[in-house]
Amino acid sequence: MPRPRRDPKVLPAQQRLENAFWALLRERPYGRITVTDIVREAGVNRNSFYYHFSGLPELADATIMHAIESIPIMDHATTAENLRQEWQRTCIVAFNDPQMRKQFDHLALLAGPHSTIELTEALRDFIRLTLLGNFDLDYDHIDLSTRILLDFTVGGIVGVLRDWPSIEHRLSTNDLTNPDIATVAANLRTALDSSEQHRPVQSLR
């Protein structure tokens, strides 16, 4: 299939398709969204859609992944000793960044009433994979205590996103930088770092 022509004056087709996904998910349940709805909202044709995606589930996965990747969840370069300070700095920056808050609004839709079990699980999976990816770790090869802490943290993030529409306007930087929350982040960072250090070296044979 030939590559769709791109007008430099408008957003790339893939970005418009992802934007259309969020707009429609805000408007109606995921089960009532079709490819026809997406291309109409994005202002592209079906050939352009199928050039980028095999279907709606693939669009959903790509859109979720890109939204999560744009949020600095946890930086591998940050040392465990400085993580509390880095957590506070990241929270303050994110809280005051309109684009970042827009991404939180988007991710909250995946835990909201228009979502599905599959979309919420995709949200969990991509958050988990992003955290592990920062440390080049595999979920199946981390120790059990780290896995439990990771799943506990991911579940907490999804829970906050589920409540995001009702708490966003009441939330302050003091809430985000609460020492108890920073401690959870620091403990997870330390556990992931320890798992990385104790990862078995693969044989070259």
Q: How confident is the model at residue 203 (pLDDT cuts 50, 70, 90)?
A: very low
Each residue's pLDDT tens digit, 24-48: 999 999 999 999 999 999 999 999 9
How much is the pLDDT for 205?
Answer: 36
Between 1 and 54, the more confident residue is 54
How much is the pLDDT for 60?
Answer: 97
Tell me what the pLDDT averaged over the chain comes to: 83
Question: How far, in Å, CA of 150 to CA of 131, rounded?
Answer: 9
> Is residue 201 scored above 50 in pLDDT?
no
How many Cβ atoms from other residues are within 10 Å of residue 106's Cβ? 23
48, 4 Cβ separation under 8 angstroms: yes
Any idea which of 2-16, 18-32, 83-97, 187-201 has the lowest mean pLDDT?
187-201
146, 128 Cβ separation under 8 angstroms: no
> Is residue 59 scored above 90 in pLDDT?
yes
> Is residue 16 scored above 50 in pLDDT?
yes
DSSP collapsed to 3 states, the chain: CCCCCCCCCCCCHHHHHHHHHHHHHHHCCHHHCCHHHHHHHHCCCHHHHHHHCCCHHHHHHHHHHHHHHCCCCCCCCCCHHHHHHHHHHHHHHHHCCHHHHHHHHHHHHCCCCCCCHHHHHHHHHHHHHHHHHCCCCCHHHCCHHHHHHHHHHHHHHHHHHHHHHHHHHHCCHHHHCCHHHHHHHHHHHHHHHHHHHCCCCCCCC
